[in-house]
Every structure is written in C-alpha cells, then in structure tokens.
C-alpha cells in the first residue's frame, strides 16, 4: 500500500486576493478540467484544493476504481475509468471536488471536454513535482504567496495572524 | 530576457510548426515539451511566462516551476492566444457587410488613397515597446498626411499625467516589502495581483503595518486594509487631499511612516479627477519618503504617456473627436471606449475585436508576446523584453505595418527616429484639465461602478479569447451588497440585465458583503460593460457621468444552475 504524500498545497486565507490565477494555471494544464474551484465564505471566495487525505473517502466511494492512490502516494483519478457519477464528490468531507461545491453552476467550471463524464481531480502536478524538485502549477502561479507547497508538520509551527491578531497555529484550523 | 529553445519557424498556418516528431515532443512526456520563456507585458508586473509546446500547433501558458513565481490568468492565457485558430493572418476587406480576403497591396493602397484624399490618423497601441512607438512616430513624421495617436486607456492617461507631476519615484514590486506603510487607491490587487505580495510580506514581518484603502467599490485590496476610508464614488481625490493635508484618521494612521508606498489603479468610468488623484498620490508618497506604484493596463502606459507628450502626438480624445478617418494599429479603440462605431477605416489586430468589426479594411498584426523591445518595468526602469513566440509567417510587427502603409503612399524612409531615452524622462506637468461633468446618481438605484479585473487585460478584447476566461466567466459579474440585493429582489448567481446610460448588459449577480452600500460593481474587462457606462467627449477629454444602475431580473439562479 503506497504511503500518502508528505507535501500538500496549503492556503493562507489571509493572503488570497481572489485573482483565480491558481484555477487558470490548473485549467490550462489539465485538459481544460481544473481541479481548483472556488467557494464563497463571507467576505472571501477561497480556492478549494484537494488535501490529499491520508484516508481518502473519494477512493473508498468510487465504484469504478477510477480514484486511486498511485505508487507515489498521490490520490488521483484515472481519466478513462471515471464515469462521472459524482460519488467521490459526495464522499469528500471537504467539498473540494466539483459537484459537491456550491457557489458556481457546475457547467461554468467543468466544460466536460472529453466524454462529459469526468470529475476533475488534483494530481499535485505530478509531472512537475515528481522527484521533489518542483511545485504544483497553482502554487507557482499564485501571485500573492497565499498558496504553499509544504509539509503539514512544518507549517504547524508557523503562527498565523489576521489583521495583527493571532487566530491559530495551523492553516487547517482557519477554514 | 528571453530564452529561446528548440523552435524552428515553420510550416503551419501560423508559421510555428517546429518538427514535433524530430524533437520528441507532441504527445511525449511532459519533460519533452518544448518551452520558451519571456516576460508578460499585459501589466507592469512583467511576470515571467513560459510557453509550453503542447502539440505541433498549440502552445499553452505555464508559470515558471518555482514557488511564488506568480502569473495571473492574463499571463497564463497569453501563449494560447498567440496560436489561437481565430488569428487574423491575412488582409480582409468589407464587402456587403462581410469581411472577405483581399490582396495586401490593395489594402495598403486603400489606406494610402484615404490619406491622400484628406489625411488619416494612425492610432497606435500604447502598450508596445518603446522602439516600436518611436519607429512608427518617425514614419508618421515623414508622412504629412498621417498623424500619430497613441491609444492609452483614458483613465490611465489621466492618472499617469498626474503621477508624473507628483514627483514621486516609481516603486518596483520587489521594493514594496521594504516599505513601512501602504496607501491603496482603487483596486490594484485586481489590476495586478502580484503587487499584493510585498504588502503581505511586510505585514507578516510587522503586523501593525498600516494599510489604508480608498476604494468606493470595495474591491479585493480594500478587504486587506487596516483602515478603509469611507469614500463616495468620485470622492477619491478629496480623500487623498485630506491625507495630504494631514487631516482625518487615515492621515493619522500613516503619520509615522518613513517610507510610504502608494499603490494606485484607475478604473474606466471613474468620475473622480484622476489627474488630481495621480498628483496627490505622488505628493503624499514623496512627502513620506516613499514612492508610487501605478498599476496600469499594459506594461508600457507610462512610456506611451511620455512619448505622446515629448513627440506632441495627437491625443486619443482629439483623434476620436475629429473628422479624419482612423487606422487602428494593435488597439481595440472602440472596445476600450465602449463605443459602437467610429470613423474606423482600417484596423490591424491579432484577433477580432470591436474595432475590426467596424473597420472597412482589416490587417493582420503581431500580438503582445510576439514583439521584442524596451518596456518600463520594475519601477519605470528600461527593461529589454524578448519575444515569447515569433509572429505567424507574414504577419508584421506594428512598426513594419506602419512603414508598409507609408511606402504605399510614396513616403521615403525617415532618416532617423527619436532616441529610446526619451521614455525615461519624466513628462512635464500638464495644466490641470477641466473636471468632468459628473452628475450625481439618481436616488432610485445604486450607482454603477466599473472595477479592474485580474482575468482580463483592459477591455478584454484580447484576453476574452482565452479558453479559461471563456469557460469560467461566461457573463460579467455584478457585485452588490446584501442590502442592495434585498432591496432589488435579486439573489446570488441570478442573471440580470444592467444599464446605466448605455445599452444594458447581462451579468451574473454576486452578493458580496464587502461591497459598500449604494453601489453596484461590474468588471471593466468586458467591452459590453464599458458600453453600459456612457463615455462621451467633452472639452477635448473623455468624461463619464455618474449614473444609477437599472437592474432587471432575467431568470432565477435555479433556472441557470442545472
């Protein structure tokens, strides 16, 4: 059984300026099916990016064995096995897969260029990050520094602040 | 500045087939993709952009493979635009209302004949390299029947005219993190998202760094302010004057700054005196040891303003208000102004736009990313930018096109052109212009404002062809606060029609709590949005009248969301 990936895409919500550069970079490099989506929360419209869960509900829920953890530990979708049933989206506890996200009509972000029945899924830009040298495109494109490609344990030590007031010590606690 | 890898000019319609099989790319592994890099010149950030060969005839945009390199949606879509299948690659002329292919010599002769008959105005894109603008100016000087006009966004032109008079130094994005206070006017985070990074770095180092925002539209930058100045639409100059005079809470918040950065962005349709805003912003920055960062549309607006003044080129308002036929070179002048028609004899462009739709003759032209030269980047320093991709075979760069038109009119090559250095010299302070005839909004609806968009460059006539832009925003977004939405009976994601003195535009509602009451905000990155805000000529300048938004429901969100 492959071990989950160590590094993930983390967001500092107090830096996101909602420019959607992350979604554009993802869209153009993933066959026009972006794995970055946005959801509105009060004043902010925040990008939703797969957390690469250690215990991935989407893998368990997929009836077509399209959603798998590959040998590098990345939870990814096998394009030609996906039947677009949306089970993974419903199972995702964080709502990062389209179909489960509110705020945009689904057609607006998933043009369904192939068969019309695929669920976009973040693969951490494995073509870039394999070998540990690069970063996912969303992180590279982020102009404000809101997205980081980091080890979860490293960022636990970094206190985060909003408007000068400390509100927690983990990016995960801010969502 | 550009790194050129294994690309051979080629054999396809766009001239870029590079022998994919021989080079092992096409459907090979991502590592085998051909990549070229340069700097994006769609805004003053000048971010590095890569074009990745994705098949023999298609290139897509890639951010550099480094954390925080930064590349906004405009830069991401630039490479795919260069190889868009809708590129204009041959001359066209209008026949019975339709554009049909024609001979290049005949097209040039048609323009030369118009010049002989009564003269023409060549309206040249103001976001070209300095060398291109100067070469075109030299040809126009040698051609008495042709006058040169540089097309600069009217709001940017006013703002930069004031900024030049304000006397402050221009800050590079890399210098922002060293500033100890920030004054933000408009929404520079949407105009250029990269400029937010330095502010956040400074705030991380010192959480008490003052960030003061003046934005009647309550855009992205205002959300991050430690103090948001209450400001009615059109009142930005007065708010800045209060800060310059040392009165009010904003002035007190910035009083201790030793190096203040002032970030300014100007929106189309603004009813404030943007020249005064630019000048006051410069004076406030200079008085507190800091500098100015003006987030314009396009990377070379400052150079265009300086060249326009030093070469005494015709202003866009004078060109549009005159009777002489226009030849638009590289600019969608009608889309930029939100006009439906004008005296456009010819339009040279890379992709169709509102101006080519109105022109009698349409000519192919290189796009941004295909023209090399000097841009004022990194704090108004001269920076050489190389081509990202060469233009398609047979498609000229702007100066070559102007030269071709002049030669067709029998003009001999000019002996010399102005030195590139004139773009580095500050423009002289222009006399204050008469303030626009801004009327107050009617009481029966929110005032319609336009705001800059990170998705689109200018009016979106170029970036609107981007596949991501088309897929993610089929309609412009109308941002209103919950109170206004409740009063009008509209809800999130509902499609409505919005009018304010011009033709109504369809938009999708976004109910956003950060939006101030009394305003409705549309993006200025859509030509139809610009048409909705009436723009007219008054006293030799473009003015907008404040107008209430008439918002009518078209359908409920539920009918559209399926």
The three-class DSSP label of residue A16 is coil
CB contact under 8 A, B68 and A105: no
Nearest residue, CB atoms, A24 vs list B47, B77, B224: B77
| CA dihedral of B508, B466, B199, A36, whole degrees rounded to 10 | 70
Chain B contact for A143, CB < 8 A?
yes
For chains A and B, count residue pairs whose Cβ atoms are closer than 8 Å: 147
Distance between CA B495 and CA A162 in Å, rounded?
Answer: 34
User: Where on the phi/psi map is residue B26: left (φ > 0), alpha (ψ -120 to 50), or beta?
Assistant: left
**What does the pLDDT read at residue B342?**
84
**Which has the closest alpha carbon to B414: B140, B120, B145?**
B140
**What does the pLDDT read at residue B431?**
63
Q: Are B37 and B51 in contact (CB under 8 A)?
A: yes
Distance between CA B238 and CA B441 in Å, rounded?
Answer: 18
**What does the pLDDT read at residue B32?**
56
Chain B contact for A167, CB < 8 A?
no
Best residue of A44, A143, A149 to probe chain B, by most B CBs closer than 10 Å: A143
Full DSSP string of B209-265: --EEEE-TT--TGGGG-SEE----TT-HHHHHHHHHTT-SHHHHHTTT-SSEEEEE-
pLDDT tens per residue, chain B (562 residues)?
A: 444 333 333 333 344 433 333 333 333 344 456 889 999 999 999 999 999 886 667 788 889 988 878 999 999 999 999 989 999 999 999 999 899 999 999 999 999 999 999 999 999 999 999 999 999 999 999 999 999 999 999 999 999 999 999 999 999 999 999 999 999 999 999 999 999 999 999 998 998 899 999 999 999 999 899 999 999 999 999 999 999 999 999 999 999 999 999 999 999 999 999 999 999 999 999 999 999 999 999 999 999 999 999 999 999 999 999 999 999 999 999 999 999 888 999 999 999 999 999 999 999 999 999 999 999 999 999 999 999 999 999 999 999 999 999 999 999 999 888 888 999 999 887 766 555 444 444 456 799 999 999 999 999 999 999 988 988 887 899 999 999 999 999 998 899 999 887 889 999 999 988 899 999 999 999 989 999 987 889 888 898 888 888 898 876 544 444 3
Chain A residue closest in CA terms to B207:
A164
Nearest residue, CB atoms, A17 vs list B68, B189, B561: B189
Chain B contact for A35, CB < 8 A?
no
* Alpha helical stretches, state H, chain A: 21-29, 57-61, 87-91, 106-109, 126-129, 137-141, 152-155
- Distance from A67 to chain B by nearest Cα, in Å? 22
- Distance from A171 to chain B by nearest Cα, in Å? 15
**What does the pLDDT read at residue B513?**
86
- Distance from B72 to chain A by nearest Cα, in Å? 5
**What does the pLDDT read at residue A82?**
86
Restricting to B residues 483-542, those with a Cβ less than 8 Å away from any Cβ of A are: 493, 510, 512-514
**Which has the closest alpha carbon to B106: B94, B98, B123, B118?**
B94
Chain B residue closest in CA terms to A103:
B493
CB contact under 8 A, B471 and A109: yes
CB contact under 8 A, A20 and B73: yes
**What does the pLDDT read at residue B33?**
67
Of A35 and B9, the structure prediction assigns the larger pLDDT to A35
**What does the pLDDT read at residue B435?**
52
Nearest residue, CB atoms, A141 vs list B63, B471, B562: B63
Q: Which residues of B248-261 are buried (b: 16+ CB within 10 A; e: fewer)?
A: eebeebbeebeebb
Chain A contact for B45, CB < 8 A?
yes
Restricting to B residues 162-191, those with a Cβ less than 8 Å away from any Cβ of A are: 189-190
- Distance from A54 to chain B by nearest Cα, in Å? 24
Residues of chain A with C-beta less than 8 angstroms from the C-beta of B69:
140-141
Q: Are B207 and B152 in contact (CB under 8 A)?
A: no
Chain A contact for B475, CB < 8 A?
no
H or E stretch covering B62: strand B59-62
**Which has the closest alpha carbon to A20: A5, A3, A32, A37?**
A37
Chain A contact for B58, CB < 8 A?
no
Residues of chain A with C-beta less than 8 angstroms from the C-beta of B77:
24, 28
The three-class DSSP label of residue B294 is strand
Q: How far apart are the first and last CA of chain A?
A: 30
Distance between CA B541 and CA B118 in Å, rounded?
Answer: 24
pTM for the whole thing?
0.89
* Integer CA distances (angstroms), B304 to A125, B52, B311, in order: 40, 31, 10
Nearest residue, CB atoms, B71 vs list A25, A32, A128: A25
Chain A contact for B4, CB < 8 A?
no
**What does the pLDDT read at residue A46?**
82
Residue A151 has pLDDT above 60, yes or no: yes
CB contact under 8 A, A134 and B71: no
Q: Are B555 and B509 in contact (CB under 8 A)?
A: no
Residues 6+ apart with CB under 8 A from B429: B164, B165
**What does the pLDDT read at residue A159?**
55
- Distance from A154 to chain B by nearest Cα, in Å? 16
Residues of chain A with C-beta less than 8 angstroms from the C-beta of B194:
143-144
| CA dihedral of B172, B175, B181, B184, whole degrees rounded to 10 | 20
CB contact under 8 A, B65 and A135: yes
For the record, the structure tokens of B42 come out as 């769609």
**Which has the closest alpha carbon to B79: B376, B271, B367?**
B367
**What does the pLDDT read at residue B54?**
67
Max distance between CA atoms of chain B, in angstroms, equals 69
């Amino acid at each position: 059984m492959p071990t989950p990936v160590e590094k993930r895409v983390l967001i500092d919500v107090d830096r996101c300026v909602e420019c959607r550069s992350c979604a554009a970079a993802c869209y153009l490099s993933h066959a026009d099916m972006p794995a970055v989506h946005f959801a509105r929360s009060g004043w902010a419209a925040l990008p939703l990016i797969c957390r690469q869960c250690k215990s991935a509900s989407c893998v368990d829920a997929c009836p077509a064995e399209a959603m798998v953890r590959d040998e590098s530990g990345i939870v990814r979708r096998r394009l030609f096995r996906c039947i677009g049933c949306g089970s993974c989206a419903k199972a995702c506890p964080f709502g990062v897969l389209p179909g489960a996200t509110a705020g945009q009509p689904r057609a607006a972000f998933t043009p369904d260029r192939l068969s019309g029945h695929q669920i976009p899924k973040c693969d951490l830009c494995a073509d870039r990050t394999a070998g540990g040298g690069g970063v996912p495109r969303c992180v590279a494109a982020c102009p404000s520094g809101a997205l980081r490609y980091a080890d979860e344990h490293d960022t636990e030590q970094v206190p985060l602040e909003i408007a000068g007031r400390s509100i927690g010590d983990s990016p995960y606690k801010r969502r | 500045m550009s790194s050129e890898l294994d690309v051979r000019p080629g054999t396809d319609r766009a001239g870029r087939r590079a022998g994919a099989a021989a080079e092992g790319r096409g459907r090979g592994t991502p590592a085998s993709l051909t990549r070229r890099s340069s700097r994006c010149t769609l805004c003053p950030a000048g971010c590095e952009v890569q074009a990745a060969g994705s098949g023999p005839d298609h290139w897509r945009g890639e951010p550099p493979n480094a954390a925080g390199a930064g590349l906004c949606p405009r830069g991401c879509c630039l490479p795919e635009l260069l190889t868009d299948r809708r590129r204009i690659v041959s001359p066209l002329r209008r026949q019975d209302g339709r554009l049909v292919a024609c001979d290049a010599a005949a097209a040039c002769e048609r323009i030369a004949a118009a010049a002989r008959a009564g003269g023409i105005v060549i309206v040249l894109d103001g976001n070209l390299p300095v060398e291109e603008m100067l070469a075109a100016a030299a040809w126009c000087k040698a051609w008495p029947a042709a006058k040169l006009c540089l097309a600069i966004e009217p709001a940017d032109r006013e703002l930069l005219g004031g900024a030049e008079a304000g006397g402050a130094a221009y800050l590079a994005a890399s210098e922002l993190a060293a500033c100890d206070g920030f004054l933000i006017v408009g929404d520079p985070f949407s105009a250029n998202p990269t400029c937010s990074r330095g502010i956040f770095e400074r705030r991380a180092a010192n959480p008490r760094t003052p960030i003061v925002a003046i934005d009647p539209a309550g855009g992205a930058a205002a959300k991050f302010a430690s103090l948001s100045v209450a400001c009615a639409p059109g009142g930005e100059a007065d708010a800045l004057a209060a800060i310059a005079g040392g009165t009010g809470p904003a002035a007190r918040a910035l009083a201790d700054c030793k190096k203040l950065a002032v970030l300014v962005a100007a929106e189309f349709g603004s009813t404030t005196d943007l020249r005064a805003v630019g000048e006051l912003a410069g004076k406030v920055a200079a008085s507190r040891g800091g500098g100015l960062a003006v987030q314009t549309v396009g990377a070379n607006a400052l150079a265009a303003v300086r060249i326009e003044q030093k070469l005494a080129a015709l202003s866009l308002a004078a060109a549009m208000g005159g009777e002489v036929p226009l030849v638009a070179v590289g600019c969608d002048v009608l889309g930029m102004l939100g006009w439906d028609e004008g005296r456009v004899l010819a339009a040279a462009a890379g992709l169709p736009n509102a101006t080519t739709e109105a022109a009698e003759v349409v000519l192919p032209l290189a796009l941004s990313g295909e023209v090399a030269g000097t841009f004022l980047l990194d704090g108004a320093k001269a920076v050489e930018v190389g081509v990202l991709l060469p233009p398609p075979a047979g498609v000229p760069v702007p100066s070559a096109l102007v030269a071709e038109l002049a030669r067709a009119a029998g003009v001999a090559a000019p002996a010399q052109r102005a030195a590139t250095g004139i773009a580095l010299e500050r423009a002289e302070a222009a006399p204050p212009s008469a303030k626009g005839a801004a009327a107050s909004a009617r009481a029966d609806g929110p005032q319609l404002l336009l705001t800059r968009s990170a998705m689109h460059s200018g009016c979106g006539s170029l970036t609107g062809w981007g596949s991501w832009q088309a897929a993610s925003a089929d309609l412009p977004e109308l941002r209103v606060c919950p109170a206004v939405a409740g009063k009008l009976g509209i809800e999130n994601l509902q499609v409505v029609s919005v009018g304010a003195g011009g033709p109504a535009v369809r938009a999708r509602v976004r109910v956003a709590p950060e939006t101030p009451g009394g305003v409705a905000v549309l993006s200025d990155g859509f030509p139809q949005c610009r048409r909705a805000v009436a723009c007219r000529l008054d006293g030799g300048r473009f003015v907008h009248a404040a107008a209430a938004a008439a918002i009518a429901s078209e359908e409920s969100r539920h009918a559209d969301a399926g």
